[in-house]
Amino acid sequence: MIDYAAGPGVYHPRLHPPVNFHSFAAVTGGAFCDSVDQVLAGRRFGHCLVLLRRRLKPCLDAVQKLKAEGFTVWVSWKECSTFQIAAQLEDPRLWDLYAEILSLCDALVSPTLVPPPIPPRIDEPHLLGIPTPYPVDLPDWDFSCHPAERRGIFIGTRELFAASRNHVAALTTALRVARRTGAHVTVINSDKARGRRMLEAIGNGIPADRFRIIDCRLPYNEYLRQISWHRVVFQLDRGGVPGQVAGDTLLCRSVCVGGNSAIEQIAYPNESYPTLAEADAEIHLEALLSDDAAYRSAIEASQQRAHRLLSFATVAQQIRELMLAPVPARAEE
C-alpha cells in the first residue's frame, strides 16, 4: 500500500509518483491499495475506486465486499483507452461479470474523453469524467530547466510495435524535421534487441549526433530530466489514453505535440489531434523549434490551462464535490 495521507510529498525513487491512478489517491489524501483487506484496515476511507482489469472476477469480489462494508464504490478500467478496454473484453464470458460490476457500483469513472462501453442490458451507471490530475501547482514537482538549455525532440511513445501508438510515424516525422533543422531526436527503446534493430533501420542515414536511442527504462526523475532537456515532446498516439506523457511534459514546463490523449486535448488543444492534423505536424514542430516567442506562448498557455483544469487543487475540489453529490437513482426494472 502507498499511503498519501500527507499528500504527494516530494519525489522519492522508492515511491510511486503521484501520476496516473495514483494521482487520485494522492490528490484526496487517500491510499493506493493492493487488496480489500488493506482498504478495510483502520477504516480511514468511505469511498473507494476499484480498478478493473481483464480478470474481472476478483474485481467483482472486491466491489461486493466493499459494498457490504458500506463503502461508496467507484470503478474504472486501469487500462482505459478504447482499444485497451475492447481488448480486455474480447472474451464474451466477461460481459456478465462486467455488467454485474456496473449494476453494483455507485459510479463509473472515465479519465479519458471517450466513455467506456456500457452493456445495453443494464441501466447506464453514473458516469464521472475526471482527468488524472498533475501536481503542476506544487513547487516540489516542477522538473523544468531553463528554456535556453533545451534542444531537440523527445519521442513520447515507447511501444514501438503497438499500432495505436503510431510510434513509427512519429519517429519518421521527427527525423525528417531533424534532417532539415539540425535538431536531434531522442527515443526510448523498450523493445530490447528487436526494437533496437527496428530503430536503427528507421534511423539509417541520420547522423549519430542527431539520433539518440536510450536502451533502458529510466527512473521517473531521470525520465523527466530527459523531457526537460528537450525543446518539444512529440507523439502521434491515437489510443485516446488519459495522457501521462502530456502530464509529464506539464511537470517539465514544456510542450507536447501530436497526440490525442485527454491531458493533451485539455492542456495543449492547439498542439493535439484532431486540431493539429498529422499533415501539419512537421510545420508545427519546426515553428516550436525555431520561434522562441511561439514556444514561450505555448508553454504559458498550457500551464494556465493545467492550473485551471488539471492541478491537484482543482481536481481535489472536483472529487470532493462529486463525493458529496447525491447519486442519481437508477430507473426501475
Q: pLDDT tens digits for 64-74? A: 999 999 999 99
Question: Is 331 a member of any domain?
Answer: no
Same domain, 248 and 103: no
Give the count of domains, the chain: 2
Average pLDDT for consecutive 10-residue bins of the chain (333 residues)? 92 92 96 95 90 97 97 97 94 96 96 94 91 97 95 94 94 96 96 96 93 94 97 96 97 98 98 93 96 97 98 96 75 47
Same domain, 91 and 209: no
The residue segments making up the domain with residue 56 are 2-133+312-324
Same domain, 300 and 316: no
Same domain, 251 and 319: no
Same domain, 189 and 283: yes
Q: Cβ-count burial of 212 within 10 angstroms (0-12 exposed, 13-18 middle, 19+ buried)? A: middle
Closest CA to 235 of 153, 157, 140: 157
Question: Is 46 a member of any domain?
Answer: yes
Closest CA to 242 of 148, 134, 91, 103: 134
Q: How many CB atoms lie within 10 A of CB 259?
A: 30
Same domain, 101 and 147: no
Same domain, 19 and 128: yes
Question: Is 154 a member of any domain?
Answer: yes
pLDDT at 48: 96
Residue 201 belongs to what H/E stretch? helix 192-202
Please give the model's pTM, rounded to 2 decimal places. Answer: 0.95
CATH number reported for the structural domain that contains residue 204 in this entry: 3.40.50.2000
Closest CA to 241 of 173, 315, 313, 166: 166
